[in-house]
Structure 1
Amino acid sequence: MPPVKQRAATVTENGVTFGLADVPKPGPGQILVKVVAAAQNPTDWKTLGRALKAGNYGGIVGNDFAGVVEELGIDVPKGVNVGQRVAGFIRGVLGPNGSFSEYLVADAERVIVPIPESWPYEDAAQLGVAPLTALQCLHQSLQLPSPFDASSGPQRDILIWGGASSVGQYAIQFAKLNGFRVLTTASPKNFDLVKGLGADEVFDYRDENVAENVRSATGNALDIAIDTISEGGTTQQVPAAIGDKGGKVAIILPYESPRQDVKVVFSGAYTLLDRVRLPRFFCPSRSSWYIDLLSKILSTGNIKPNPVLIQPNGIAGVKDGLQYMVEGKVSGQKITYRIADTPQI
Structure 2
Amino acid sequence: MAPLRQKAAVVGENGTAVLTEVNVPKVGPGQVLVKVVAAAQNPSDWKMAKELKAIGAVLGLDYAGVVEEVGADVPAGLRYIGERVCGFVKGAEGPSGAFSEYLVGSAKYAVIPIPAGWSFEDAAQIGVAGLTAVLALWEGNTGLPTPLAPTTTPFPILVYGGSSAVGIYAIQFAKLAGLRVLATASSRNFDVLKDYGADEVFDYKDPEVSQKIRAATGGKLRHAVDTISEGSSGAIIAAAFGEDGGHIGQILPYSSPEENVTVKFVLGYRLLGEDFELPWPFKATPEYREHSEKIGKFLAQILALGKVKPMPKLILPKGLASVQEGFDYMTSGKVSAQKITYKIADTPGVSA
TM-score in same-fold range (> 0.5): yes
Where does residue 335 of structure 2 map in the other structure? 330
Where does residue 263 of structure 1 map in the other structure? 262
State how far apart, in whole Å, the 1-side matches of 2:319 and 2:227 are: 28
Where does residue 89 of structure 1 map in the other structure? 88
Distance 1:183 1:313, change over 3 A: same
Q: Does 1:67 align with 2:68?
A: no
CA contact (8 A) 2:270 2:282 kept: no
Query: What pairs with 1:248-327 in structure 2 (closer than 5 Å)?
Result: 248-273=247-272, 274-275=274-275, 284-285=288-289, 286-327=291-332
| 3-state SS of paired residue (1:244) | coil
State how far apart, in whole Å, the 1-side matches of 2:86 and 2:281 are: 32
CA contact (8 A) 1:254 1:281 kept: no
C-alpha deviations, 1:302-329, integer Å up to 9, x for none?
Answer: 0001111101200010011011111110
Distance 1:146 1:95, change over 3 A: farther
Where does residue 39 of structure 1 map in the other structure? 40
Distance 1:332 1:103, change over 3 A: same
Q: TM-score, normalised by structure 2?
A: 0.93
Q: TM-score, normalised by structure 1?
A: 0.95
| 3-state SS of paired residue (1:128) | helix
2:85 aligned partner, one-letter code: V
State how far apart, in whole Å, the 1-side matches of 2:329 and 2:133 are: 24
Name the % identity.
51
Q: Tell me how large the CA RMSD over aligned residues is.
A: 1.8
Distance 1:6 1:264, change over 3 A: same
Q: Does 1:25 align with 2:23?
A: no
CA contact (8 A) 1:266 1:281 kept: no
State how far apart, in whole Å, the 2-side matches of 1:112 and 1:17 are: 26
Note the residue ranges of structure 1 that are not aligned, 5 or more in a row.
none
2:159 aligned partner, one-letter code: I
Q: Does 1:246 align with 2:245?
A: yes
| 3-state SS of paired residue (1:331) | coil
State how far apart, in whole Å, the 1-side matches of 2:151 and 2:317 are: 47
CA contact (8 A) 1:29 1:107 kept: yes
Distance 1:276 1:114, change over 3 A: same
1:107 aligned partner, one-letter code: S
State how far apart, in whole Å, the 1-side matches of 2:256 and 2:41 are: 29
2:315 aligned partner, one-letter code: I
Q: Does 1:3 align with 2:3?
A: yes
Compare 150-159 and 279-288 and name the one that shifted more.
Answer: 279-288
Where does residue 56 of structure 2 map in the other structure? 58
Aligned-residue offset at 1:222:
1.1
Where does residue 346 of structure 2 map in the other structure? 341
Where does residue 130 of structure 2 map in the other structure? 131
State how far apart, in whole Å, the 2-side matches of 1:282 and 1:33 are: 26
State how far apart, in whole Å, the 1-side matches of 2:246 and 2:205 are: 23
Where does residue 196 of structure 2 map in the other structure? 197
CA contact (8 A) 2:45 2:59 kept: yes
Distance 1:342 1:140, change over 3 A: same
Where does residue 115 of structure 2 map in the other structure? 116
State how far apart, in whole Å, the 2-side matches of 1:208 and 1:199 are: 21
| 3-state SS of paired residue (2:139) | helix
State how far apart, in whole Å, the 2-side matches of 1:204 and 1:145 are: 25
Equivalent residue pairs, number: 342
Aligned-residue offset at 1:173:
0.6
1:199 aligned partner, one-letter code: A
